[in-house]
A and B are shown apart, each in its own frame.
Chain A
Amino acid sequence: MSEKISKADRLINRRIKKSRVGKRVTVKKAAECFFTYLGLIVLAFIFLFPVLWLVLAAFSESGSMYTFKGFFPSAYSFETFKNLFTDTKMYDYPRWFGNTMLVATCSAILGSLLVILTAYVVSRFRFPARKGIMKATMVLGMFPSFMAMTAVYLLMTQFDLINNLAGLVLIYAAGAPMGYLTQKGFFDTISNSMYEAARIDGANNLKVFIKITLPIAMPMIIYTLLTSFTWPWSDFILPKLLLKNRDMYTVAVGLMSLGDTEFARFAAGSVFIAVPIIILYFALTKYMVNGLTAGAVKE
């Protein structure tokens, strides 16, 4: 019965709509559609073009960018890419790449562990120093960090960690808990009852953390891993300070040390270093969105 009525309703509704709206709305709609897509295309172009240009430059035959006719190299070749990996006498790109991979991976894992731990504890437990810690990290985050570089350098000479990738990992990982706010925001949204249930079952807090918190926080962990991977991946100030030996360079430092006439090599190296991150980002956009949001949404 009801179905029949609704069917009739729908028919009537459609009639009414058609008569009311008429052609003008379709025009308006078409215009809206047109402008939306126009905007999207313009945006896509803006964001794509510089990246595309770098890729083109990487395939340029000439080392200097100024021999290009506008944006486009006058001749293309694969030579630069080949040189990047084979001509390693001066610029050992494969090695730099390996170093970067090692540093970024280790500091991502270690740093994420520390961040998640800190965020979880600060969010879940109430202890005397808690508010103090929260305010202190906030304030410390304001400090112009590279002014502290002198101290970091002196400290690392004392630990004998200059020219040592482990030293870099240590600094990146140790600094990671300072940015725990996003992760804390995520844990704030998890209701206490879940933990309480486990506690009643007799699990201790360590077990709760491992068995319950970590699985729930998986999206957040992935987000954290991703962000703490990209930072060492593209940082160049700290490695420049701590790595003296060319064999120890990370890609960022190495690319910055290229000679004046090595623009094509720079571009090729840049393209190549961006690839892993791009793949990760595309694969994990969902987590990026969720992670960023979790830290932010507060009502």
Chain B
Amino acid sequence: MKLKRIIAAFTATLMLVPLTACNGGGMREYYKNQSLDKLYDKFDGELEGGTAARPITLRVLENDTAKSSGYLKELLDGFNAAYADKYIVAVDANQDQFSDLATDGPYGYGPDVLYQANDMLMKYCDGKHITPLPVDKLDAYEYLPELAKKTYTYKLDGEEYFMGVGVNIQAPMLYYRKDLIPENWETEWDDNGNGVFDPLEDMRAMYRFSLARRAANPENYGFMQSYDDPYFACGYLFSYGAYVFGSDNTDTTDIGFENGDASRGAGIILQLAGTMNKGCVDNSITMSREQEFAAGHYFAVPNTQDMYGTLLSETVKAYRKQGMNAGEAKRAAEENICACPMPALPKSGDLTERDGELIDSTVMGGINAYAISSYTKHPKAALAFLNYATSYEQVLRRNEVLGIAPARSDCNEACTVQSNVAHSLYGMAEENRISIMPSVFGVDRIWTPLSTAFSDIANDPYRPGAEKYTKGGKPDYDALQKLLVEVDENIYSAIYTLAGGDK
């Protein structure tokens, strides 16, 4: 009898332990508050140094173009030479450029310093995976434009933290072939007589030009773009008043792709898609645009600055095939590949009209920046690298090699490659014509619903007899509006329906 009682008591305690332990057993509250007063202490004091036998290694994650162009090697070599006496060695982390610090970092597999776009970097903030930077120790800080500062500011409990040093501003620009502009453009394609080829400043003219080019030769197109890529396609909606999240892209409960006259923007997509081919519905045009552009089949494509190098090299290849020698081809390509901001859009949203008010187009952009992983063992050395990589000389060099548009104001003024692009991006940023990708949790849920919706719209010209969004040859704005409202709802439910949406 006694044994039974003992066993019963034992079993009872055994079952009590899990019950009391469950979900921290009430101890979680106790540990919840962690004071952030000493946050920047790790950057104070003497720079860490290794020894000749055991140097400090900094793993740097860079993007693929920097790597393939050789810029990364130059940067690392330069830094390593400068800090050789401290025995700090920066190496290429050699990981996928989109690798996720949130999965790698906590286990010690992430890089120390990382260069990514703001939507990636700022996503890490909630998990505190990247560390706030001491503004007073950043050499580049005072040269950064407001936009870059705002984008990389993280707000937590009323405090503001600065998370990354912007290096380049990136937004889709219109890249076109100067040599494909018809010779008689000044009489035929310059209605306003301002000395600019109309299709480059007015999307209605571009629409007509695309149709004209195709009519002359079905192999040739004007403006070409794959609409399954929401990053490039969002701009049409933004131009008409849409936004991603409310309260300056921070309130994820307020999704605004249907806001204002956004359906007009959707109508633009629909009409433009009609001048292209089926490739605009899936990613076929994205996959082939550099080659087709080089071959002269596409007159203009929206593209980001980092792809300039590819456009150039493909065009050089195409010219050489036509019989030019290497020098000629390079010169010709550099002269003929031009870029300008995306053309203005008609306020009415109808590309077939000739007159009427125009509105400036807005594009979705991003700012790529250097940030420091919270998991780095050498924060001071990492900071030294960050300062080196964002220095005036390095950013200029980056522009020379990669053609990026520098975010630093002094570099932006002084840059040499694609300088007009860099300047106009700067101008656009100041005029609020670049809508920076949101940096909050939930932004990764917008892409697939958007991509699906844009493909659906672009599909319409290729649904003869079964159009969803066309009525009497014109975009059906009510149907488009309904679609955009659905997109908002889908994104909302993707963020909020299930666990984790308890904001």
Tell me, yes or no, whether A binds B.
yes
Structural contact, B295 and A66, CB atoms closer than 8 A: no
CB contacts (< 8 Å) of A66 on chain B: these are: 279, 284, 287-288, 291-292
* Interface flag for B107 (CB, 8 Å): yes
In the complex, A64→B291 CA distance in Å? 7
Give Cα distance in the complex from A65 to B284, angstroms. 9
Q: Is B160 among interface residues, defined by CB-CB distance under 8 A?
A: no
Instruction: Kindly state the separation between the CA atoms of A138 and B363 in the bound complex, as whole angstroms.
Output: 54
Q: In the complex, are the beta carbons of B290 and A64 less than 8 A apart? A: yes
Q: Contacting chain A: which of B94-102, B122-130, B262-270?
A: B94-102
Residues of B close to A157: CB separation below 8 A: 107, 109
Provide the residues of chain B in CB contact with A263, threshold 8 Å.
Answer: 287
Contact B290 A162 (CB under 8 A): no
| Contact present for B287 and A244 (CB under 8 Å) | no
User: Which DSSP category, helix, strand, loop or mixed, fits chain B's interface?
Assistant: helix
Q: Is B64 an interface residue (CB 8 A)?
A: yes
With A66-B279, A157-B107 as contacts: A247 and B287 at CB distance below 8 Å: no
- The answer to whether A89 has its CB under 8 Å from any CB of chain B is yes
**B253: CB under 8 A from chain A?**
no
Contact indicator B292/A244 (Cβ below 8 Å): no
B286-343 at interface with A (beta carbon < 8 Å): 286-288, 290-292, 295, 310
B-contacting 9-mer, from A34-42, A254-262, A279-287: A254-262
Q: How far is the CA of A295 from the CA of B164 in the complex (A)?
A: 59
Q: Are A63 and B94 in contact (CB under 8 A)?
A: no
User: Are B95 and A260 closer than 8 Å at their CB atoms?
Assistant: no
User: Shortest distance in angstroms between A12's beta carbon and chain B's nearest beta carbon?
Assistant: 70
> Quick check: is B445 within 8 A (CB to CB) of the other chain?
no
Q: What residues on A are CB-neighbors of B96 within 8 Å?
A: 244, 246, 257
Contacts of B137 in A (CB 8 A): none
Is residue A62 within 8 Å, beta carbon to beta carbon, of the partner chain? yes
Q: Are the C-beta atoms of A261 and B310 separated by less than 8 Å?
A: yes
Q: Which of chain A's residues 239-270 have a Cβ closer than 8 Å to chain B?
A: 244-247, 257, 259-261, 263
Asked if A90 lies at the interface with its beta carbon under 8 angstroms from chain B, I say: yes
* Least CB separation from A240: chain B residue: B96
Query: In the complex, how many residues of chain B place their beta carbon closer than 8 angstroms to a beta carbon of chain A?
Result: 22
Evaluate contact between A64 and B107: CB separation under 8 angstroms: no
Place the interface of chain A in its size category. Answer: 20 to 34
Interface residue from B68, B279, B286 paired with A90 (Cβ < 8 Å): B68
Q: Residues of B contacting A257 with CB < 8 Å?
A: 96
- B290 touching A261, Cβ below 8 Å: yes
Is B191 an interface position by the 8 A CB rule? no
Given the known interface contacts A89-B68, A245-B94, A247-B94, the answer about A260 and B107 at a Cβ–Cβ threshold of 8 Å is: no
Nearest-Cβ distance from residue A199 to partner chain B, whole angstroms: 46
Q: Which of B67, B99, B283, B291 contacts A62 (CB under 8 A)?
A: B291
What separation, in Å, do the CA atoms of A259 and B307 have in the docked complex?
12
A112→B48 CA distance, assembly (Å): 50
Known interface pairs A66-B284, A90-B67. Does A246 touch B291 (Cβ–Cβ under 8 Å)? Answer: no
Q: What's the Cα separation between A249 and B94 when bound, in Å?
A: 11
B104 at interface (Cβ–Cβ under 8 A)? yes
Interface residue? A183 (CB, 8 A): no
Residues of A within 8 A of B295 (CB): 67
Task: Select one of B94, B104, B287 contacting A64, CB under 8 A.
Answer: B287
Convert A53-68 into 0s and 1s, putting 1 for each residue whose CB lies closer than 8 angstroms to a CB of B: 0000000001111110
Nearest CB of chain A from residue B251's CB, rounded to whole Å: 31
- Whether, in the assembled complex, A228 has its beta carbon less than 8 Å from a beta carbon of chain B, the answer is no
Residue of A nearest to B107 (CB): A157
- A264: min CB distance to chain B, Å: 11
- Given A64-B290, A66-B284, A247-B94, A163-B109 contact (CB < 8 Å): yes
A66 and B68 alpha carbons, distance in the complex (Å): 23
**Please, how many angstroms separate the alpha-carbon atoms of A244 and B99 in the complex?**
8
A-B contact pairs, 28 of them (CB 8 A): A62-B291, A64-B287, A64-B288, A64-B290, A65-B287, A66-B279, A66-B284, A66-B287, A66-B291, A67-B288, A67-B291, A89-B68, A90-B64, A90-B67, A157-B107, A157-B109, A162-B107, A244-B96, A244-B99, A244-B104, A245-B94, A246-B94, A246-B95, A246-B96, A260-B283, A260-B287, A261-B287, A261-B290
Given A65-B287, A246-B95, A257-B96, 13 additional A-B pairs, CB 8 A: A62-B291, A64-B291, A65-B288, A66-B279, A66-B292, A67-B292, A67-B295, A153-B103, A244-B96, A244-B99, A260-B286, A261-B291, A261-B310
